[in-house]
Structure 1
Amino acid sequence: MDILRINWLTMHYLSQKKFKQDLQILLLAAGTVLALFLWQGHKGFELWDEGYLWYGAQRVMVGEVPLRDFMSYDPGRYYWSAAIMGLLGDNGILALREAVAVFQAIGLFIALKLLSFNTDRPKQILLVLGTITLAVWMFPWFKLFDIVPSIALIGALTLLVQQPSRRRYFLLGLIVGLAAVFGRNHGVYGVVGSLGAMAYLATRRGDAPPLPIPCVPWPWRVPFGQVPPIEAARGVLLGLFFIAIVAFGMLGVVWAICQRLRNKPISPVLVASSLLALPYAHSAYSRADAVHLAQGIFPFLIGSLALLANQPAKVKWPFATLLCGASLLVMLPVHPGWQCYATQQCINADVGGSKLAIEPGAVNDLAMLNKLADQFAPGKQSVLVTPFWPGAYAALNRKSPMWDIYALFPREEAFELAEIERIKSAAPGFALIIDIPIDGRDETRFRSTHPLTYQYILENFEPVTGYRQESAYQIYKRKETGPAPRTAP
């Protein structure tokens, strides 16, 4: 009985200790996200990708279904956002950012838990450095629905690698499925990582998935002498990060398999991160810029920090500090809080009922939209803004007359004819075409990707001037002989 009592007391002590550690990590994650939100939650705004998420969340709140009723990503992010916005009773941009902040806190908590995995007393300094490093890469905020799934997949794979069991296989499958609900690409990456984990557990070798290499900001392409030294250093580090995520995936998998074949211990977090590094490199290399790198870098970051956690102090602290400093140098300049601080040009403006500090260009764009709506589409009359700026509908709280709210890709004739019928039914008061070529290619302009819709606008609307000087903004009002305006629901 004494032995049983001792064992019970020991387990109780360990569980209490683990609970306190988890609570500390949770408070660190939540506190970090709260601090970031207070710093820059009211700063910055863009009508493009941010508006794409905002509009989708608004439409879900009124009962529409993503993909069926409007162009969207996979539905998880919209239902998550709409659920929390509904609890807050607010469909504004700040409510949306608060919903994403909750998601971010969950992701950061999981990541910090991984850094303390199999460690009785995680080093507080490493946790702080890790928190800064991970948090600065959690950008842009509206892409956190593509960042947090990668962290959750690392966590699920870590548990499986540590101790395979039916329960943990089920958990992994559940996490992969949930990740796919937020983005089908995450489901694919999760499946690839899962297969890799099974191969690793069976000590079988496998080939790494091939990677298409687009125009990448390689470090040797930095225009030294033509940019300030700090920008040159940032360019070099950005290129090195792109190299590092691939090298880490390849070398990490090889090292993990070699260690397993030798029956030597290796961190499950490192194994899980290595297995997901190459699949998520696909996301990072899809457009090869800092924003897309942030969506694919977390397996590398978590794996590197997990590797450093078990190194001697003379290795751990210099390299952890270097990784943190490099992350800050690369990513801090793209955060809106830093941009507003550095440029001192942000202007307070009303964005769909929320007060934000945003850059002057966005202020002018919103002012133009409000002026056009007041003059040509009063009340709740429909408006047409294409091919970008889905945020215009969210800011004006109007329903898009088109399903294709982000009209970037060429469409078949039948699809365009259906879109034209939707526009006819909605009878928008004005049409705004953002005539900007993607990557400088004229074939990506709206007139090329949607020629029938473009021709319909030219035939049923007439151009107006005096709102913006930029030639990229083509503004049209509905012809007086056209159908009578209708109020959008």
Structure 2
Amino acid sequence: MDFSNRFIKSELNRTIQVGLLALALVIGWFWLLHDAGLNLGDEGYLWHNAQRILEGNVPIRDFRSYDPGRYYWSAIWLAWLGPGLLSLRISLAAFQFLGLFAGIFAIRRVVRSWWALLLSGMIILLWMYPRHKVFEISLAMIAVLIATRLIEKPTARMHVIAGILVGLSAFFARNFGVYFGISFLAIIFFLENTPNWQQKIVNCGVWILGVLIGYSPMIFMWVFIPDFFRDFLDSVVRLFTPYTKFQPLPVPWPWTMSGVLQQPQLWASFFLGLSYFWLYSFYFLGFLIICRYKHRCVPLFSAAILVGIPLLHHASGRADFPHFSQSIYPALAGLLTGYPLIDNVRWGKSWRWTGIAILSMLFLLLTQSSNEIYSGIEKTKIILNRPSYFVSYLLMEGNTIWLPQGQAEYISGLEECLKADMIPGINIFIAPYDTGLYPVWQTTSPIWDAFPIHKASKAEEEMEIEQLKAHQVQWALISDMPLDDIQERRFSVSHPLIWQYLLEKFKPVNCQALSAKQWLFRAKP
């Protein structure tokens, strides 16, 4: 009994220590970056949609959105702290803490040195990019931890917890719910050391019960919010039509690129393609190791491989740096655990030096691609009173943020062009990229889709034209630059009816802040 109490106390102490380490890292990173940079696209989209919830709107039904969980999480914090950008970033930091705690706690099962844990935590933190996608990254970290525990102790309780995670993940991002569902089913039927198939089926049933519990917030919305279930089904069907919000981007494999050494602007793409090659190779070899040694594999390594393999779909469907970083944690966990991949088999220096080489390559990718690394460097210069490319910008909400000089001049220049009506709540339509200008100017999108980067159907365009008329929109800011340099992804091509409506009912306004292929329109009298 005394031994049991000491063990529980020791485990509790280690949990608290890991929690404090994760908290210190998140607070430090937040302190550095809380007022640095602003992504007017995806981060602005999250900020705008969280504010829509505060107005009583429902995601998917009243405005186009991803799955509701992320918006309700953010809206809770905005309701408590205020609707500003700082409140949004506090909500993201809170979720980031949950993920980082799980990520470090999982690695703690293999890595005993606190200095090594600190270094591992810092590496993981740098890869929690972009900050507005911290939900996907954190959920992957939690999934690896729970998968590890399930492999170690396949009890009924752990199956319920694993199911709850899958259901909750689907409430935040349905694709991650599917990915984790595949991973846990693989663990239940392929990896668990259970005596017979009847027991595996029982375990699966208990796991499904957990899934229903975790997904209960969405089920509640289906049942009690009018028309929500219909619109949810429409959003699922839309995924399999040309009108999906998903825009694919192929992997830049290294062997498809030529003249890289002579073209520095291609280095980031080259390192990205090299990193994808490593990621695929790591999971392929890891899966072979699991098939060969199965129950002898270290549980964390097995969990990392089985959680990571389905995430390759997310990483590769739109093969850019943000999607790669959202999917990399399981591989990092497998790499950072060091060399005990198989019980009683340590791969020694060869694994260690291989890990150092891979981490060095990934760090080069970070320095070439991460806007937050860039923001952190520039913010550090400001703190040290050194010359910086960042300048201060005062938001309407009263907070000051630091932006790249070009971005600050762009927003200020637009405000100068709009000065006749530049008040909070300005009646403007913005498409498709700069959604963040809505909350910056304390207004909301007049149409259902605040981030219209997808190809719209005729019915959707006609509906949104009626919404523009109903809101009596006075201004329109349109970026007609092609997404991914693909001409079919220009706004004038993806939304031809709205584009024609703007040309007929609005007149162009000269504005020096605009770049090529940007238009500022004002409604005709």
> Aligned pair in 2 of structure 1 residues 284, 43: CA closer, same or farther (>3 Å)?
same
More divergent stretch after superposition (242-251 vs 428-437): 242-251
1:69-88 maps to which residues of 2 (within 5 A)?
A: 69-88=62-81
Query: SS at 2:290's partner residue?
Result: helix
> Aligned pair in 2 of structure 1 residues 286, 361: CA closer, same or farther (>3 Å)?
farther
User: 8 Å contact 1:103–1:144 — kept in the other structure?
Assistant: yes
User: 8 Å contact 2:339–2:348 — kept in the other structure?
Assistant: no
Alpha-carbon distance in structure 2 between the residues aligned to 1:460 and 1:238? 44
Alpha-carbon distance in structure 2 between the residues aligned to 1:38 and 1:217? 35
Query: Structure 1 residue 347 and structure 2 residue 391: aligned?
Result: yes
1:164-179 maps to which residues of 2 (within 5 A)?
A: 164-179=154-169
Equivalent residue letter for 1:274: I
User: 8 Å contact 1:248–1:277 — kept in the other structure?
Assistant: no
- 2:284 aligned to 224, 228, 250, which one? 250
Deviations 1:25-84 (A, max 9, x none): 111111111111112221111211111111011111222111111111111111111112
User: 8 Å contact 1:347–1:360 — kept in the other structure?
Assistant: yes
Query: SS at 2:392's partner residue?
Result: strand
> Aligned pair in 2 of structure 1 residues 232, 17: CA closer, same or farther (>3 Å)?
farther
Equivalent residue letter for 2:104: L
Cα distance, 1:137 vs. partner? 0.6
Question: What is residue 182 of structure 1 aligned with on the other side?
Answer: 172
Equivalent residue letter for 1:226: Q
Q: Which runs of 5+ in 2 are unaligned?
A: 197-247, 382-386
Cα distance, 1:106 vs. partner? 0.9
Cα distance, 1:338 vs. partner? 2.5
Question: What is residue 502 of structure 2 aligned with on the other side?
Answer: 457
Cα distance, 1:358 vs. partner? 0.8
- 1:41 aligned to 34, 59, 77, which one? 34
Equivalent residue letter for 2:304: S
Question: What is residue 454 of structure 2 aligned with on the other side?
Answer: 409
Query: Structure 1 residue 395 and structure 2 residue 434: aligned?
Result: no
- 1:428 aligned to 439, 456, 473, which one? 473
Cα distance, 1:442 vs. partner? 2.0
Alpha-carbon distance in structure 1 between the residues aligned to 2:79 and 2:478? 32
More divergent stretch after superposition (183-192 vs 453-462): 453-462
Alpha-carbon distance in structure 2 between the residues aligned to 1:318 and 1:132? 19
Question: What is residue 338 of structure 1 aligned with on the other side?
Answer: 377
Cα distance, 1:232 vs. partner? 7.9
Equivalent residue letter for 2:463: A
> Aligned pair in 2 of structure 1 residues 381, 202: CA closer, same or farther (>3 Å)?
closer
Question: What is residue 208 of structure 1 aligned with on the other side?
Answer: none
User: 8 Å contact 2:154–2:192 — kept in the other structure?
Assistant: no
- 1:148 aligned to 133, 138, 144, which one? 138
User: 8 Å contact 1:46–1:362 — kept in the other structure?
Assistant: no
Structure 1 length normalisation: TM-score?
A: 0.87
> Aligned pair in 2 of structure 1 residues 399, 233: CA closer, same or farther (>3 Å)?
closer
Question: What is residue 226 of structure 2 aligned with on the other side?
Answer: none
Alpha-carbon distance in structure 2 between the residues aligned to 1:380 and 1:39? 31
> Aligned pair in 2 of structure 1 residues 469, 134: CA closer, same or farther (>3 Å)?
closer
Query: SS at 2:339's partner residue?
Result: helix
Alpha-carbon distance in structure 1 between the residues aligned to 2:122 and 2:357? 12
Question: What is residue 43 of structure 2 aligned with on the other side?
Answer: 50
> Aligned pair in 2 of structure 1 residues 215, 179: CA closer, same or farther (>3 Å)?
same
Alpha-carbon distance in structure 1 between the residues aligned to 2:457 and 2:69? 28
Equivalent residue letter for 2:59: P
> Aligned pair in 2 of structure 1 residues 234, 126: CA closer, same or farther (>3 Å)?
farther
Cα distance, 1:108 vs. partner? 0.6
Question: What is residue 60 of structure 2 aligned with on the other side?
Answer: 67
Equivalent residue letter for 2:430: V
1:97-176 maps to which residues of 2 (within 5 A)?
A: 97-117=89-109, 122-176=112-166
Alpha-carbon distance in structure 2 between the residues aligned to 1:469 and 1:252? 50
Query: SS at 2:91's partner residue?
Result: helix
User: 8 Å contact 1:151–1:298 — kept in the other structure?
Assistant: yes
Alpha-carbon distance in structure 2 between the residues aligned to 1:170 and 1:462? 59
Deviations 1:239-287 (A, max 9, x none): 3321122222222222112213xxx522111111111222111111122
Determine what percentage of the aligned residue pairs are the same residue: 30
Query: SS at 1:375's partner residue?
Result: coil
> Aligned pair in 2 of structure 1 residues 341, 31: CA closer, same or farther (>3 Å)?
closer
Question: What is residue 358 of structure 1 aligned with on the other side?
Answer: 403
> Aligned pair in 2 of structure 1 residues 232, 427: CA closer, same or farther (>3 Å)?
closer
Query: SS at 1:71's partner residue?
Result: coil
Question: What is residue 322 of structure 2 aligned with on the other side?
Answer: 291
Question: What is residue 215 of structure 1 aligned with on the other side?
Answer: 250
Question: How many residue pairs align between the two structures?
Answer: 457
Query: SS at 2:122's partner residue?
Result: helix
Cα distance, 1:176 vs. partner? 0.4
Alpha-carbon distance in structure 2 between the residues aligned to 1:60 and 1:455? 31
Query: Structure 1 residue 225 and structure 2 residue 261: aligned?
Result: yes
Alpha-carbon distance in structure 2 between the residues aligned to 1:414 and 1:472? 26
More divergent stretch after superposition (67-76 vs 339-348): 339-348
Alpha-carbon distance in structure 2 between the residues aligned to 1:172 and 1:110? 14
Equivalent residue letter for 1:361: G
User: 8 Å contact 2:424–2:443 — kept in the other structure?
Assistant: no
1:296-311 maps to which residues of 2 (within 5 A)?
A: 296-308=327-339, 311=346
User: 8 Å contact 1:133–1:323 — kept in the other structure?
Assistant: no
Alpha-carbon distance in structure 1 between the residues aligned to 2:458 and 2:41? 25
Query: Structure 1 residue 466 and structure 2 residue 511: aligned?
Result: yes
Query: SS at 2:453's partner residue?
Result: coil
Cα distance, 1:165 vs. partner? 2.1
Cα RMSD (Å):
2.4
Deviations 1:122-150 (A, max 9, x none): 22232122112211111111111121111
Alpha-carbon distance in structure 2 between the residues aligned to 1:463 and 1:54? 29
> Aligned pair in 2 of structure 1 residues 39, 319: CA closer, same or farther (>3 Å)?
farther
Alpha-carbon distance in structure 2 between the residues aligned to 1:132 and 1:403? 40
Structure 2 length normalisation: TM-score?
A: 0.81
More divergent stretch after superposition (173-182 vs 448-457): 448-457
> Aligned pair in 2 of structure 1 residues 25, 326: CA closer, same or farther (>3 Å)?
farther
Query: Structure 1 residue 94 and structure 2 residue 133: aligned?
Result: no
Query: SS at 2:337's partner residue?
Result: helix
Question: What is residue 18 of structure 1 aligned with on the other side?
Answer: 11
Query: SS at 1:466's partner residue?
Result: coil
> Aligned pair in 2 of structure 1 residues 222, 80: CA closer, same or farther (>3 Å)?
farther
Q: Which runs of 5+ in 1 are unaligned?
A: 1-7, 205-212, 481-489
Deviations 1:284-330 (A, max 9, x none): 11222222110111111112223536747645654554454443332
Question: What is residue 229 of structure 2 aligned with on the other side?
Answer: none
More divergent stretch after superposition (330-339 vs 420-429): 330-339
Alpha-carbon distance in structure 1 between the residues aligned to 2:50 and 2:367? 28
More divergent stretch after superposition (468-477 vs 426-435): 468-477
User: 8 Å contact 2:279–2:331 — kept in the other structure?
Assistant: yes
Deviations 1:168-187 (A, max 9, x none): 11111110011111111101
> Aligned pair in 2 of structure 1 residues 379, 81: CA closer, same or farther (>3 Å)?
closer
